[in-house]
Amino acid sequence: MARGFFVTFEGLDGSGKSTQLRKLAQWLTAQGKQVTATRQPGGTRIGDRIRELLLDSRTENLAARTELGLMFSDRAQCIAEVIRPALERGEVVLCDRYTDSTEAYQGGGRQLGSEIVLELHRALCENLWPDLTILLLPDFERSLERARNRNARNVHNGRDENRFEQEDERFYRRVYDKYREIAAREPGRVVMIESDAGIEEVHRRVVEAVKARIGH
Ligand code: TMP
């Protein structure tokens, strides 16, 4: 069975990953590739409902393990409905966040640890790992500032997706440290771009990483 190529984007809120995903999708399309772009949580109708529950700041008293389970419920649905079929069609799948986010946020941020996350991944996600993960990790202070600006914008637009963005700096520090731990553990899969070099320069590095793996 022909299998496509699976790329995920990771980073703290405000790291610029959604912009980079969009730019990579445009670049790949211009190269004649079929691209499917999705995101987690969300990306399916069921996932959008789960996303609303997870991100709405009016959601109160959500236990850490419930949050963990919902992230994986969303992911299992996205794999079944979007990711797996697109890979089987031989497409390039770009996903905004994946299991590394769960390891960083629930494993690190919520302090549930990595083991439970990796176990659930094996059980619920058919142990499907990306061929390449782009981890955008600019300077920690800069990331926080961008997340706060985005938070303000979301309130302004009448959207409420702020439950995570209300977490304190220590939470984000644990997320940041866990991301670095993942990158050190999996250097073959994870390409970390630390640069604050600007959108175009980061895009150039993303394209370089993709080219090195899919060959052009
Ligand atoms: P987004 O704004 O990049 O779509 O991400 C939504 C929020 O959900 C973000 O704060 C990170 C959080 N998140 C987790 O905590 N665990 C996960 O597994 C995923 C996919 C997202």
Query: What CATH number does residue 11 fall under?
Result: 3.40.50.300
pLDDT of residue 203: 97
Ligand 1: centre distance to CA 64 (Å): 14
Ligand 1 atom closest to the CA of 72, numbered from 1 = 18
Phi then psi dihedrals of residue 95, to 5 deg: -125, 125
Q: What is the pLDDT of residue 188?
A: 96
What domain count does the chain have? Answer: 1
Rg (CA), the chain: 16
pLDDT of res. 151: 64
The token pair that represents 157 in the structure block: 């637009």
- In degrees, to the nearest 5, what angle opens at C-alpha 143 toward C-alphas 141 and 147? 120
Q: Residue whose CA is closest, atom 20 of ligand 1?
A: 40
Cα-based distances in Å from 79 to 21, 86, 104 = 18, 9, 20
- Within the chain, which residues score under 50 in pLDDT? 1
Residue pair 209/9 in contact (Cβ under 8 Å)? The answer is no
Tokens of 201: 């320069």
Ligand 1 centroid–CA 153 distance in Å is: 17
Ligand 1 centre to CA of 200 (Å) is 24
Q: How much is the pLDDT for 154?
A: 62
Domain coverage including residue 13:
5-214
- What's the pLDDT at 1? 45
Q: Please report the pLDDT score of residue 161 as a whole number.
A: 77
